Amino acid sequence: MTDSASHVDLFAVQPRVSLEDYASQETFAAHQRALAEQLDARRERDAEGRPLHPALAVWPEMVGAPLGLMGHLERARRCRTTEEAMAAVARAEWPRVLRALGRRPRSLAEALYVTVAPRVHRAMWATFGTIARDFQLWVVAGTALLPENALGDETPELRAASARTYNTSYTFAPDGRCVAVTRKVNLVPTQEDVIGLSAGRAEALPVVETPFGRLGTLICYDGFREPHTTNEPGFTPAALLLDALSVDVIAQPSANAWPWEGPWAFNAPGEGQRRCEQWFSEGLFAQMRDLTHVRYAVNPQLVGGFLDNSFEAPSLILEQRGGRDVHVLAQSADPRAECVLHVTVPTRKSEGARNLAAPSPFFSEE
């Protein structure tokens, strides 16, 4: 369905996760489906109960990353760190890891990612493809750590094309089909660049045609206008690329692993910027001022944590009104609590020209 719509429901889903969510595909899916039921209850409907507007629901970065622990939760509970848990899973699955080593991975981490990738991929597809179909949603399904699929992007089964693993986001249409695969371009220094991940290609960022305009995904750091450090020569401010492709809505699944109110980890000598300040001064909020086509951004955050991983930050829905005028349409009140943000906003079809008066969105949080 790509017929244009006058309005769209935008949802930023902020799940609070724990290790127990990843006991099985069923436990993971149950948590995400409960959140989908919350957002479904907020959609305005016609007399026959059909949603009045198309809807986009965006889940956060890394929500699917721990799915590799499925079937090994008892081992994981005995571990203090993700590295220890990964080693425990590798020992338990050593025959399959040994076969993965035949792909010449650069590290044991890559071999393990490839080993668990088929079931992680299947869980992401089953969870979010089903949510998209059952609730008639466009879904950006957060991210998981996955290799390219030699079988193609439109299948619930996966056979790794190589050992290279990416921070990967799937986009599902309301009929449950996977219509785009986005791989993170910029790896966060000291975090993603040390765990065996590969960087995606900026020129490969996909764009999806929807009833509410063109949709693109930037995975967290890809939405920033400048690098965190001075030693990232390949950093790409990817929002500019999507803007050049006439994208109307950016989905930005995120997971902030630093204290939200604490000092920014990469402050230069003499700087006193906090993470919460840096997010707005260097992130998508700041970069949207320089965009000429992007109208909205949906930026959900992962909260909670597992093992030695802890996440906190408020989710955001942003609007660029033209003339470097960027507004926060909705922001979660608690950067550590589960919630769903919702706004109903006009599309370009209903507004016509770019310089018309700004809309008055309906927004809610739970």
Residue 2 — pLDDT band, cuts 50, 70, 90? low
Residue 226 tokens, joined: 């400048």
Express each pLDDT in 241-262 by its tens digit: 999 999 999 999 999 999 999 9
Helices of type H across the chain: 25-40, 73-77, 82-92, 94-101, 108-124, 130-135, 239-244, 275-282, 284-287, 348-351
The whole-number average pLDDT for the span 106-114 is 91
pLDDT digits (tens, 9 = 90+) for 210-222: 999 999 999 999 9
The structure tokens listed for 244 are: 């050049």
**259: enclosing H helix or E strand:** none
The whole-model pTM stands at 0.94
Domains for the chain: give ranges and CATH numbers. 7-365 (3.60.110.10)
Sheet holding 207-210, edge to edge: 207-210, 213-217, 249-251, 296-299, 316-320, 326-331
Lowest pLDDT segment from 101-115, 118-132, 157-171, 278-292: 101-115
pLDDT of residue 105: 84
In terms of DSSP bridges, do strands 178-183 and 207-210 run parallel, antiparallel, or are they unpaired? unpaired
CA–CA dist 121, 306 (Å, integer): 20
pLDDT interval class at 350 (50, 70, 90): low
Tokens representing 317?
């829905």
